[in-house]
Amino acid sequence: MLSTPEKFAFALAILATAVLFLQPLIRRYRIVRAGRPENRFDRMAGRVLYALGKILLQRCTLKNERPFTGLMHVLIFYGALTFDTITLNHTLEGFIPDFQLFGRSAAGSVFSLMVDAFAVLVLIGVAYFAFRRFVVRPKAYATTRADSAVIYTALILVTLSYLYFEAFAIVLHPEAARLSFLGSALARFIAAAGPAPAVAALHYKIGWWLHILLVYAFIAYVPHSKYLHMFAGSLNLVFRAPGSGRAVRTLDLEASETFGIEKALDFTWKDNLDAFACMECGRCQDACPAFASGKPLSPKMILINMERHLLERGTPLTAGRRDDLPALVPQVFAEGEIWACTTCGACMHVCPVEIEHIPKIVGLRQSRVLMESKFPAELAATFRNMETNANPWGVGFSKRADWAEGLGIPLAQNHPAPDYLFWVGCAGSFDDQGREIARAFAALLKKAGVDFAILGTEEKCCGDSARRLGNEYLFQALASETIEAFHRYGIRKVLTICPHGFNTFKNEYPKLLDVVGGLSDAAKAHFREIEVLHHTEFLRTLVADGKLTLRPPAAPSSLTYHDPCYLGRHNGILDPPRELLAALAGRKPIELPNHGEHSFCCGAGGGLMWTEESLGQRINHLRAEEIIGSGAGAVATACPFCQTMLRDALKDKGRESIAVKDIAVLLEESLAG
């Protein structure tokens, strides 16, 4: 097809494209490599298979967020794969005359049909995204409009140039039409004009060159654009860490010289890959309660600003010149950003390429707290209360078991090795509403004949708030004492009424065992065998086994359920609470607009229970508006913090008539007899 000089020019075009494509990729690869080491290479076969399944089946976009947008992305994705195949065919055709990847086979005919079909579908998809971005203009799409315009234009030009080439190819070689319905229609229109064979041949060659050069220009542009997510996002899925939002990275406080993330060199290589993998789709921003309530945090902008900084400071970063790098806070990230996050995990849950936002934000907090002692002023009292009395309220630790007075609940020191330890938690011990939950759950356990005990004054804060607020030193000190106490009293199974304690014991403490000094080998081995259960899981079992008998449900009440983030989204416990409520009310609870794995945070997570929410709207007010809008007359919760936040919000809204009760309280009130 091409003359010798044309082949030489074509080879130069391929070489130039390769250089322009690989040069920025190599630069970004070096930046990723400059990150701190982190082991993400276990189970590689499973990792690769997971990523391929999610990419090829487009499960990364076909989720229940933005379903129509996801469908449009699918059209463009499969269209891109089809046109990539065409590009391979055209490249080989430039050196091998009349080359056809599928020959004259039936597969070639089917492929010709697919190409034309996807040409139409790609144009539809691009038109949809262009309309959304430039006409509708949702907040999630507020960034990189110029980049999007270039990409949309490139997709349109590549598609149209192919149709131009295809039409003249069919004019010259009618047998090439096969099942190409669009190319054939255009060819008939052109043939009707009666072009001379030489003119048609010229247009055919122009079409070939135009299409292939546009494709190569687009390929060269990709590493500089958000389209890089095609490669970085795919790798990100390979190296993902399931559940990374529910377990903060453990700091080795004895061996480290710096703590947390102060400068860009403190990011891990996976953190840096996250920055380049971002699709800039804004799903994380749409799901973020802090952003929805008008606070200066956008998970999307955390990644975008991080990527810009990595590229701007790439030279000192890859050279390891720490002194030449600025502090990330406040030069790259504002104080208001890092202290607005509730660590609810909504951003990570909806991200198509599973970017890990929470570890970065908590890492920034760790640096501010441990290295600079800079944090919201009200947290000074919270940390001091935890240090002196092992609870955020600062109530004397001698009063921790006062809630159980007169209930006849044994202490572990008097009843070692019970079947279950009831971990009451700080809210259950010191907060009036939390004490109500603790008493109700204890009554249910006694009614069911469960052998259990409590630690009493030996119980300390689990450390969840301290850890997510960045005070890793305080967290590890509290955790060490608790791990030793569990071993001392032979605890094998732990029951919690708080999802934060549940998550901390189940997902956080096990990662401490090989890092924290001072723990005995026996205590470490013992803790690895401990089973942790949330009270809704255990209560469902007791009801199912007939150990708790409920009164026949009265007339169905308008009851709704609020999923705590650390129970539902982070740990996947969605059904047990609903099954209990269905048994109580005789019907399924009313579902809120944001429910289940997509529940809207109450605002207390990430340690923000202990900070002043002074910016924007209160997050719990937004959740209260959903509750009011549902028409429910009562709200069931499964977390003492959620209960407090929702009660306060409904009171602020003048809707105190909507009762907010924990499932344990509702269950205890409904016991037969």
Tens of pLDDT, residue by residue over 591-634, are 999 999 999 999 999 999 999 888 899 999 999 999 999 999 99
The whole-number average pLDDT for the span 142-148 is 90
How many angstroms separate the Cα of 459 from the Cα of each of 203, 391, 401?
82, 10, 9
CATH number of 548-669: 3.40.50.10700
Cβ contact 2:10 at 8 Å: yes
Q: pLDDT-based confidence at 62, cuts 50/70/90?
A: confident
pLDDT value, residue 308: 96
Cβ contact 159:123 at 8 Å: yes
Q: pLDDT-based confidence at 65, cuts 50/70/90?
A: low
Tens of pLDDT, residue by residue over 470-507, are 999 999 999 999 999 999 999 999 999 999 999 999 99
Tens of pLDDT, residue by residue over 310-360, are 999 999 999 999 999 999 999 999 999 999 999 999 999 999 999 999 999
Say which range, 192-201, 403-412, 460-469, has the weakest mean pLDDT.
192-201
Is the predicted pLDDT of residue 265 greater than 70, yes or no?
Answer: yes
Tens of pLDDT, residue by residue over 204-245, are 999 999 999 999 999 999 999 998 999 999 999 999 998 888
- Interatomic CA distance for residues 427 and 661, integer angstroms: 14
Half-sphere exposure of 67 (CA within 13 A, CB side): 1
83 vs 438, higher pLDDT: 438
CATH number of 264-372: 1.10.1060.10
How many angstroms separate the Cα of 151 from the Cα of each of 16, 22, 509?
20, 19, 46
Output the average pLDDT for the chain.
Answer: 93
Domain limits, CATH 1.10.1060.10, in the chain: 264-372
Single-letter amino acid, residue 469: L
End-to-end CA distance of the chain: 91
Single-letter amino acid, residue 118: F
pLDDT value, residue 64: 60
231 vs 63, higher pLDDT: 231
The torsion angle over the Cα atoms of residues 160, 161, 167 and 168, rounded to 10 degrees, is: 160
Q: Which helix H or strand E contains 635, and what residues bound it?
A: strand 634-637
Domain limits, CATH 3.40.50.10700, in the chain: 548-669
Residue 142: burial class (beta carbons within 10 Å; 0-12, 13-18, 19+): middle
The distance from CA 266 to its chain's CA centroid, rounded to whole angstroms, is: 21
Q: Which helix H or strand E contains 534, and what residues bound it?
A: strand 531-534
Stated length of the chain: 673
Is the predicted pLDDT of residue 555 greater than 60, yes or no?
Answer: no
How many angstroms separate the Cα of 541 from the Cα of each of 509, 578, 669?
25, 13, 18
pTM of the complete model: 0.92
